[in-house]
Structure formats: C-alpha cells, structure tokens
Structure 1
Amino acid sequence: MKYSILDKSHDPMGAAISDFHRSGKAARLRVLSSMFEEDEMPVEHLFRPLAKMPRLEQKALEMACGRVLDIGAGAGCHALALQERGIEVKAIDISPLSCEVMSERGIKDVECVNLFDPQLQGKYDTLLLLMNGTGIAGKLERLPSLLNRLKELLADGGQILVDSSDLKYIYENEDGSMDIDLNAPYYGEVDYQMQYKNVKGEPFDWLYTDPALLASISKQCGLQCEIVAEGEHYDYLARLSLCTTVPLA
C-alpha cells in the first residue's frame, strides 16, 4: 500500500507557504467546498508567533511535554514555539514544500511523511494535532483508524492533544432548534479543495467532530477523552490518553 505525500505541482498550501517564507507575501489561498461559499486562508496566519495564536493553541502548547510529534505541521509555527522552549519536537507533513520551509526556518527534526506510513515509528509523549486536527480522518468512519494509529505512536503515560469544532451552529435556528438531517452523513464531514495561483490541489475530505462523539469513539479505541478548554465559537481542545484498567479488589 502506498502512503502518499503531495506532488509539488498539486500542493497549493505548500506553494503559498513557500512564497510567503521567501518574499514575506503571498497571493490568495482559496478554499473551495461544495458545502460553503468560497473562502480564503490568510497565509500569514500559518506563520503566527505564539503571542498571536488562538487561546486553544496556546493552551495545547503549554500542555505539550516530553518528546513531541507535531502532525500536519504546515509552516511549523507550533513546532518552532515548542523548540524555543527547549522541547524536543519532530514535525511531519505530507507537503514537501512545507517541509522545506520548516527546515529553512530552523526546525531541527522535519520529515515529509504520511502519518499512516508504517516507516514512521517511535514513541512520543505528546502527539499534537492542531488547526482542527480530527480533520485528518476525513470521514467519521475513518476516525477509529486515526485514533488507533495515534495509539501506536503514543508512549506510556503520553497524551494526544487535538482540537476541533462542532459544526452544529451552521444548522441552528434563531430559536435554538437544529435542522440536522439524521439520515444524512454526519454533519461534521466536509469536502474541500484549495487553489493558489494556478496550483490546484486534489479535493479532500475533512472531519470536524463534536466533543461528545469524539469522547465516545475514543472510548471504543481504548482512549479516555477530556475536554480541557473551549473556544468562543463551538471549538474545543481535547486531551486523549490511554485508558487505565483498575484491578479488581
């Protein structure tokens, strides 16, 4: 089985990151979806220093300890912040252009590798998945596979720090009721496609998970889930850890 990384010619975010790193500016990084109107990701946001990060990200970085694996590290803002604190961190991403930029920015341990590639080995005290980290699963049915893979990389006593958002607010009426079709696919499943200049990426699935569902599926995978912080708009930070079995008296 091939565990893919992105081709540079189909890596719009990587191209935007590379441009901004080299010139201090970038064109529009367009975010397309069949479910929403076209949006734009501010490229400079991917280079934000610790002081300008959202509160949930700052909280996650405060909690990170031991040997850290930063998954989907992008331009490396989280890995850099940890490295500046003297924490050992490995940054991985499937974008070769992003990985080149991270190395040039001074991150000591960078690897362009797919999270699910069995060649990625090791045990980490903190697994970091920020900027809607559950999205990597793509679909709800694949969330257990993601969590089980993370368990393989988790050291004894380690933690998984992941943030996400509950998209139920999109379906909320003025009276507080919800227009959610329970017979439709899970409302947190979104499709995206990104474009930067003439570089257009392949469409991809992204998963936003409500906290109750994340806790339920985590438990099925032998992980306990604690919501450690909540944001201002249905976003939250969760800490997952291995369930401990209490011996019978």
Structure 2
Amino acid sequence: MADVFGKALQDYHQGKYTEDITTYSSLDEKDSIPLPYLFRDYDQMPILERKALALAKGRVLDIGCCAGVHSLYLQKKGMDVTGLDSSAGVITVCKERGLKSTVNSSIEDFKGDSFDTLLLLMNGIGLAGTLDNLSSFLQHLASLLRPNGQILLDSSDIIYMFDQDEDGGYWIPDSGKYYGEVTFTLEYKKQKSIPFEWLYLDYNTLFNACLSNGLVCELVSSGEHYDYLARLTKK
C-alpha cells in the first residue's frame, strides 16, 4: 500500500514541496490537503484544537499524530506525550522534528498501555471508519484510559453538504448508510492510496454511542461550521 501521507510529509520536511495531497471522496468531491497546513504552528491552529491542547493532562497519546504539531506543542510544555500513526513515513518525520516518543501502529492494533488523555484531533474519530464500528472503537479507546482519564476529539456534522428543501429538511441519498460515512482515496505524485472509510459524526450520534458504551460525553465547544470538540470520560 502506498504511504501517501508519509511520502508527502517527508518531501515537505526535506524541502521538496511541489504539490499537495489530492483527495477523492464518495461525496463526488475532489479536494486537496495543503501540506504547509499539516506543519502549522499553534497560532495557525483552529480554536477547537487550541482548547483541546489546553485541556490535555497527564500522559498523552496523540492518535493519528500526522506531522506532530500537537504532540510537539505539548512536549515543549514539558508534558509526557506519545505520537501514534499508522504511517511509517509520518513517524519518521515526527522523530526528525524532535518528538521523543512515537509508535508506528494503527490505533486498533495498539494495546497494553494506558494514558490520562487520548487526543483525536483533525476529525480523529474518523478513524472508526463506519458507524457500525463506532462502539468497538470507543470501547478500545476506553481500554487505554487510566482512572479519571479523558478522550478529547473533534468532528464535523456534514449534513450541510446535502441539499436542503424549503422546510429546512435535508435530501440525503437512501444508501442504507449513515450520511457521515465517506470513502476517501488519496493521491500524491501519481501514487494513490487504497480507498478507506472515514466517519464524520454529528454530536447527537456520538453522545448516544457513548451512552451505550458506558462513557460520558460532554460538548466542550462548537465551531463556526458544524464542527465541535467533545470530551469523553468513563462513568
């Protein structure tokens, strides 16, 4: 499988930036992920990310750490933080940027350790893939928490991407799937990733899933565009 993210981040880190990552989605949209944004500093982070970093405590696991912007910020503050990513190239970049503790693994395969804070930023809950997989995903995250630990995640309700009728209702295709389930393919320098599932989760659906899995879900903050930051704790 082509390590599209890893290759792109390594190129940027090595001063070989010539293009961004192109994304293709099942929403019939072609978009791009600007590489400089993945290396942003604290001042360039959205307010929801800054709030999450302010709430981080104790031993932290940054899940899907990408270029390590959140991990490195917390490390500079003297916190004990580990960056986890399934991309070997991404982890190489994090190490070269000075992140002391890293793990090259998918979150599903990561076991046997515990943390006070799990960070899933940049829509990190999307790693669950599908709504059917959400319960087992949340249970696995909960198994990594220390007593009084917390999960900090942001996501977006993508209902706004669908057409609206005069009564304010939305026209959602009857595909049998939750409307926040999106299939993505990434492309960088003519290399394509295999298609993968990503989950955008509205807050009420997250809240109910937490309720079903023994977790308390608290809405910390709402963004300006259907996005939000949530804090999950064990009951």
TM-score (norm 1): 0.90
1:62-105 CA deviation, whole Å, 9 max, x = no partner? 00010000000011001011111111001010000000000000
Cα distance, 1:33 vs structure 2? 1.4
Separation (CA, whole Å) in 2 of partners of 1:190 and 1:154: 28
- The residue number in structure 2 matching 1:49 is 41
- The residue number in structure 1 matching 2:124 is 133
The counterpart of 2:230, out of the listed 204, 221, 238, is: 238
- The residue number in structure 1 matching 2:149 is 158
User: In structure 1, the residue corresponding to 2:170 is in which secondary structure?
Assistant: coil
Cα distance, 1:172 vs structure 2? 4.5
1:164-193 CA deviation, whole Å, 9 max, x = no partner? 000111125264221135663100000000
Cα distance, 1:24 vs structure 2? 5.9
Listed as ranges, the gaps of 5+ residues in structure 1 are: 1-6, 244-249
Listed as ranges, the gaps of 5+ residues in structure 2 are: none
1:209-239 CA deviation, whole Å, 9 max, x = no partner? 1000100001111001001011110000000
Separation (CA, whole Å) in 2 of partners of 1:45 and 1:148: 31
User: In structure 2, the residue corresponding to 1:51 is in which secondary structure?
Assistant: helix
Cα distance, 1:125 vs structure 2? 0.4
- The residue number in structure 2 matching 1:114 is 106
Amino acid at match of 2:135: P
1:138-182 CA deviation, whole Å, 9 max, x = no partner? 110000111000011001001000110001111252642211356
User: In structure 2, the residue corresponding to 1:111 is in which secondary structure?
Assistant: strand
Tell me if the contact between 1:228 and 1:237 (Cα under 8 Å) persists in the aligned partners.
Answer: yes
State yes or no: 1:101 paired with 2:93.
Answer: yes
Tell me if the contact between 1:16 and 1:26 (Cα under 8 Å) persists in the aligned partners.
Answer: no
- The residue number in structure 2 matching 1:143 is 134
Separation (CA, whole Å) in 1 of partners of 2:175 and 2:22: 31
Give the strand-richer structure, 1 or 2.
Answer: 2
- The residue number in structure 2 matching 1:226 is 218
Cα distance, 1:114 vs structure 2? 1.6
Tell me if the contact between 1:26 and 1:43 (Cα under 8 Å) persists in the aligned partners.
Answer: no
User: In structure 2, the residue corresponding to 1:212 is in which secondary structure?
Assistant: helix
Cα distance, 1:122 vs structure 2? 1.3
Tell me if the contact between 1:30 and 1:194 (Cα under 8 Å) persists in the aligned partners.
Answer: yes
Amino acid at match of 1:92: L
Amino acid at match of 2:158: L
Separation (CA, whole Å) in 2 of partners of 1:173 and 1:109: 47
Separation (CA, whole Å) in 1 of partners of 2:163 and 2:230: 24
- The residue number in structure 1 matching 2:70 is 78
Cα distance, 1:35 vs structure 2? 1.7
TM-score (norm 2): 0.96
- The residue number in structure 2 matching 1:212 is 204
The counterpart of 2:114, out of the listed 123, 134, 147, is: 123
Q: Percent identity among equivalent residues?
A: 44
Q: Which region of structure 1 is more displaced relative to structure 2, 32-41 or 99-108?
A: 32-41
Amino acid at match of 1:204: F
**How many residues get paired?**
234
